[in-house]
Amino acid sequence: MCRVVDLQQAVLAKNDACAHTLREDLAARGTAVVNLLSSPGSGKTALLERELTLARSRDIPVAALTADLATENDAVRLARSGVPVKQVLTDGLCHLEAEMLGGHLHGWLPADTRLLFIENVGNLVCPASYDLGETLRIVLASVTEGEDKPLKYPTAFGLAHLVVVTKTDIAEAVSFDEAEFRANVERINPGVEVVLTSARRGEGDGVLVDRALAARDGAPVHIPVMTRKSHHVHDADDGQPHDEGHHHGEGHSHHEGHHHRDHPHASRAQDGGPAHTTGSGTVASSRS
């Protein structure tokens, strides 16, 4: 058992080191990275498509990378916004890692990109433990998922710089208790901002873009209590005021039924596969 724990810690330590380097490199080129985490079906693709479209209408150089176990469906949807989009197929791996991300960005990310949105694999367990060198970590939850979601997934919500509630247009129909949800978020991550959105109605339009631009330009970013307890808060010498190494306090064992072919989490940073174009947005399919 001790050897398993030591191995997990070594994998996470390697990832944190890669994330630190990636964060510095992207900050030096003026790119802010937003890591979006949620359960499957939360509506993050629909929300992200609206945000990318809005950013393009405002002439903000933006790009998006979306990760899934299979299919290019999300990349095709996001490419309708007209911005550069890349699909990463993880072939069963339940999360992205910093080294993997860096490999996919190399040679693809446009040099003038100000905002890069990462749509992580739909999962609130595995991705929560892996820092991707992000400027902002945003966790989304739909009104259909229940008010106790933050309590069930404390690492995901506890490390968030922003929490977004989606599908508010059906909140009344599913008896969503906003006050209870906010109270549960506050228990896990005191002081974090919670915003309401509806891709269908346009509620909260621009919130992801505005928060990311503000962070890129040096606005203070919420530092979660869980991060402070981990003693991995770096001194923001690269202009990013959040944690360098995320807290892994839940003993992330990955025994969730997910497929890890080359455990422990062998990096899949090689870029390959065909690229195709939808509208003016490039969708590059990469099998890791």
Quick: pLDDT tens for 96-115: 999 999 999 999 999 999 99
Under the banding of pLDDT at 50, 70 and 90, the label for residue 12 is: confident
**Encoding tokens for residue 258?**
């997910």
Rounded to the nearest 10 degrees, how much is the dihedral formed by the CA atoms of 153, 117, 57, 51? -10
**Encoding tokens for residue 25?**
């490199």
201 contacts 221 by C-beta, under 8 angstroms: no
| Pairwise CA distance, residues 287 & 281, whole Å | 19
Q: Is 203 left (phi over 0), alpha (psi -120 to 50) or beta?
A: beta
Ordered DSSP codes for 48-113: HHHHHHHHHHTT--EEEEEEESS-SHHHHHHHTTSS-EEEEE-TT--S--HHHHHHHHTTTS-TT-
Coil, strand or helix at 20: helix
Q: What pLDDT is attached to residue 49?
A: 98
| Pairwise CA distance, residues 213 & 9, whole Å | 33
Q: What pLDDT is attached to residue 4?
A: 63
Tokens 């991060």 correspond to 227
Q: Is 247 left (phi over 0), alpha (psi -120 to 50) or beta?
A: beta
Q: Which residue has the higher pLDDT, 2 or 11?
A: 11
Which residues contact residue 262 at a Cβ distance below 8 angstroms, ignoring those fewer than 6 apart? none
Residue 189, classified by CB atoms within 10 Å of its CB into exposed (0-12), middle (13-18) or buried (19+), is buried
| Pairwise CA distance, residues 233 & 246, whole Å | 9
pLDDT in tens, 193-246: 999 999 999 999 999 999 999 999 999 999 999 987 654 433 333 334 343 344
Q: What pLDDT is attached to residue 278?
A: 35
